Amino acid sequence: MSGWFLKGVTTGTKTTGYPAHAEGAPGVSPGRPVGGAYPEREIPLLVARCPVGAIRPSGQAAVMVDYRRCVHCFRCQRGLATPLAWESGYEWAGVFNDQQALDHAFTRSVNILVVDTGDCGACLNEVKQLNNPYYNMHRLGLFITPTPRNADVLLVVGPLTDHMRVPLQKAYEAMPTPKRVIAVGACALSGGVFAPSFACNSGPADLLPVDVAVPGNPPPPLAILQGLLVAVGRKSPRPLESPAGDTAQEVSAR
């Protein structure tokens, strides 16, 4: 037993400083494309290149990226004469429908119920990484619970297969109010690479009222963490499209 103790003590502190400080270690996030100015002649090629239709022309010589659809296939980066602009960073979560920030609903610890509705395993693995010492969501008061009876937040991953409709509905109804729903991953927001399919949906949005969306395929743990903080009102949400409405281009993470 002393071997474990020594191992633990000598490992030191590995926890990230997020959300107090930005996390800059390499490999924490794949980054994502950025919409904006793009040579007009090449826009049709770019739009056709995206397999899920996440890139749309926006005005004269600009494109717009819908993050709800982006599946990180990197085709807008590789194999093109002019690759699309790319940003690093991980603060991706936003509010699903409105543009308002969610109010401070839960003041103390938050219990999260994770329901996998057909996820490939990558998003689920990223959610599980939140418990490891690098991210340690417990220090922020976030806990994963196995039962909906004491859950505050329902975290849904996967495109919602037909077989999981009833279990998801039951899990949502078994949770006491107030509750929030957070949909994580491109599959849960737009069906990812799977929609349209007879056996699965484009996410849980037509079954449950989704509050927060975390785009990405998969979103890195820091993005999911930010999404959870948005869900409880501790962080402000980000736009789910780029560029965001009329405002200037997306700013890189702080």
Partner 1 sequence: MMKLADISTQVARRWPGEVETRLDVSSSTCDLSCTSNALPAVCTWLFTEAGYSFAGLVAEEGASQWELRYLFYGERAMGWVQVIIYAPLSERTFPSISASVHAADWHEREVEDHFGLVFEGHPRLGDFVLHDDRWQEGLEPMRHRFNGREAVGERQPNLHWRPRRIVHAPGSFMMPIGPVFSGGTEPVHFLLETVGEDVIRTIPRLFYAYRGIEKIAEGRTVADALLLAERFCGTSAFAHGLAFCQAVETISRLDVPPRARALRVLLAELERFRHHVAAIEAICESTALAVAASQTAMLQEDVLRVTGALTGHRYLFGLLCVGGLTRDLSDTDCQDALAAVQHVGLQLDKIEQLLRFTSSFLDRIEQVGVTAHTDVRAYGLVGPVARAAGIARDLRKAQPYCGYEALNFEVPVENEGDGYARLRILFAEARQSVRLMEQAVASLPAGPVTVPPELQPGAALGWTEAPRGAAVHWLRLGEDGQVERYRIIPPSFMNWHGFHLAAEDFAFQDFPIILATFDLSVAENDR
Partner 2 sequence: MNIAVWLIGLFLVLCGVGIALVVLLPQPRAPQVLAWIGALASLPVIGASGWVLLAGNTFTMRLWTLPSLGTLLLRMDRLSALFIVITGLVFLPVSVFCAGHLSRYLGRYSLRAFSVMFLALYASIVLILTAGDVLLFLLAWEAMSILTYLLVNYEHEESAHTRAGYVMLAFSEAGLLAVVLGLLLLAVPAGSLDFASLKTAALTLGPGTRWAVFLLTFFGFGIKAGLVPVNSWLPRAYTAAPAGFLPVLAGAMLNLGFYGIMRVNLDVAPITVPAPGLVVLVVGTVSALLGILYATIENDLKTMLAHSSIENAGIITVALGAGFIFTAYQLPVLGAMAFVTAGYHLVNHSFYKTLLLLGAGAVEDRAGTRDLNKLGGLIRMMPWTALFFLVGALSIAAIPPFNGFVSEWLTLQIILRSVELASVGVKIIFVICGASLALTAALAVTCFVKAFAMGFLGMSRSARVAQAKEARRSTLAPMLLLSVLCLGFGVLPTYVIPVLSRTMAPVVAPGATDALVPPFFAGSPAHGQLPSAFVAEFHDLGAQTGQRILPGRGLVVMHRGGTANPVVFAMSTSYMVIVLVLLLGIAYGVIRVLTRRRHVVRRACWDGGIPRLLPEMTYSATGFSNPVRVIFEAIFHPTTIEDQPDTVAAHFRMAIHRQREDVHIVDRFVLHPVKAMTWGFARWLAGMHHGKLNAYLAYVLLALLLVLLVAWALPVGP
Task: Provide the minimum distance between the beta carbon of 118 and partner 1 in the complex, in angstroms, as a whole number.
Answer: 4
> Whats the size of the chain, residue-wise?
254
Comparing CB distances to partner 1, the nearer of 64 and 144 is: 144
**Which of these, 27, 29, 35, lies nearest to 69 by C-alpha position?**
35
Between 118 and 237, name the residue whose CB sits nearer to partner 2: 118
Kindly tell me which residue out of 82, 162, 176, 251 binds partner 1, with binding defined by CB under 8 A. Answer: 162
Residues 225-254 binding partner 1 (CB under 8 A) are none
Q: Which does 173 bind (CB under 5 to 8 A by kind): partner 2, partner 1, none?
A: partner 2
Tell whether the torsion through CA atoms of 161, 52, 126 and 98 is positive or negative. Answer: negative
- The smaller minimum CB distance to partner 2, of residues 128 and 170, is found at 170
| Bridge partners of residue 110, in order along the sequence | 142
| Residues 6 or more apart whose Cβ sits within 8 Å of residue 224 | 93, 126, 127, 130, 184, 214
> In sequence order, what are the beta bridge partners of 56?
64
Per-residue contact track with partner 1, 165 to 204, x per CB under 8 A?
-xxx-xx--------------------xxx-xxxxx----
Residue 195, Cβ density class (10 Å: 0-12 exposed, 13-18 middle, ≥19 buried): middle
125 binds partner 1 (CB under 8 A): yes
Site residues for partner 2 per CB under 8 A: 147-149, 164, 166-168, 170-171, 173-174, 176-177
Does residue 22 bind partner 1 (CB under 8 A)? Answer: no
Residue 83 binds which of partner 2, partner 1, none (CB < 5-8 A, kind-dependent): none
Q: Identify what 4 binds: partner 2, partner 1, none; CB under 5 to 8 Å per kind.
A: partner 1
Distance CA 58, CA 246 (A): 11
d(C-alpha 154, C-alpha 136), whole Å? 19
Q: Which of 13, 20, 21, 79 binds partner 1 (CB under 8 A)?
A: 79
